[in-house]
A and B are shown apart, each in its own frame.
Chain A
Amino acid sequence: MSLTAQLDTIRSAMPGCVLAAYGDSNAKLVLRSSADRPWPQERLDDLCKTASRTLDLFDRLSPKRRQPGHLREAVVARGNDVRIYVGAPAGDLLCCVCRAGADTQQAAQTVRAALAKLMGQDQ
């Protein structure tokens, strides 16, 4: 299954998810995305930069969880959406943007599982 198709699957598995994006937190670029409407690339890259910065904060607050293979995670709510960022130590990053009211624990679990699967395919 292509990466884009996997992102489509992730989005359809999460109620209210309007965007699923795969990026590289080192390069701070979104490489593939699936969305209910087009997102300009600069907004996607801005999303990736914000995710990367937020996950750096996760590292700062959770040094004990920064173990090999452990995924970094953050949930950020804004006015009308909730963003779930999950990052792998190597820099792989999944960002999902959901409408307000999302079950963030369930959503984060879905994103974690999806990223773990993507990483497994990489290896």
Chain B
Amino acid sequence: MSKILRLRITRPHMQTSRLMARLQAFAARTEEKCPADGLTAVLRRIDTTILPRALTITTEAGDSLRLLVSNRRLMRVEHVGQPMSVGDAPADPGEAAEQFAARLEPVLRDAKLASIGTTRYHSDAMFWDVGCGAGRLASTMGVLTQEPSKQPANGDLERLLSEHAMARAEVTTTGQVLSRVANPEAEAVLTDLLSWANDQVAAAPALAGAREECICLPISDAHDAVILQRHDGYTLAVLSTTLRDRIIGAWQARLPGARLH
């Protein structure tokens, strides 16, 4: 169920620059693409903002939220005019997403019109925050990810993997191996893939599986090592290269209707 929130792009209040103008133009194009779903536009803004920015969303009722975004992650959500509670820094992206969703939903639930402004922002404190990606926030808010029509696509992906994978393993973002099956000739590649997944978890546990991606690496002329990276873990597999486009198609079909670039 997606929420409807129309947005009007406003000029930045200060520090207008060519880069800002580009961001505004980009945002305007984004709005044209999805004029009916403002929340999607906000999520997309999060997913495309690299440099530290404060997105200020103001509803017609006068409520105002400030979203601090950096490196494609939402770092903080502040209700403008209300004091921030102290000592509630989220420990992981899941907790951050729940905390942010709890702040966003009461304000955006009934909003029919809002404006969004962008200003530069910098705070050293932000770099210590875990934050969360737009995809995880969308999942937590229950938007865009609960489309029943997408369920069969999940089935397609599962069927392709179960029928054709020479090797397959399921790993959580904590590094726990839930299942592992491999033909002898693909065993070594699966071991390497598992080792890579463990390294991801060890290097940045909070970021493991942060971005949903399907990575295909041609390990021979006939086979790909495939990594399906989800918010909740990894599917690692070895498949025929001829199946690559079908796997990618099934993978993309299971993602939310509004693509988060």
Task: List chain A positions with a Cβ less than 8 A from chain B.
Answer: 38, 40, 42-43, 46, 54, 57-58, 60-62, 65, 73-82, 100-105, 108
Contacts and interface: CB of A to CB of B under 8 A. Distances in A.
B191 to A, nearest CB: 10
Interface residues of B, number: 34
Contacts of A54: 215, 217
Contact of B261 (A40, A77, A78, A103): A78
Contacts of B256: 79
A76 B261 contact: no
A105 B241 contact: yes
Given A46-B50, A60-B192, A77 B22 contact: no
B225 A75 contact: no
A65 to B, nearest CB: 7
Contacts of B164: none
Interface of B: 19, 22, 48, 50-51, 189, 192-193, 196, 211-220, 224-225, 241-242, 244-245, 248-249, 251-252, 255-256, 259-261
A40 B49 CA distance: 11
B155 to A, nearest CB: 18
Contact of B22 (A40, A61, A75): A40
B213 A76 contact: yes
Contacts of B252: 77, 79-80, 100
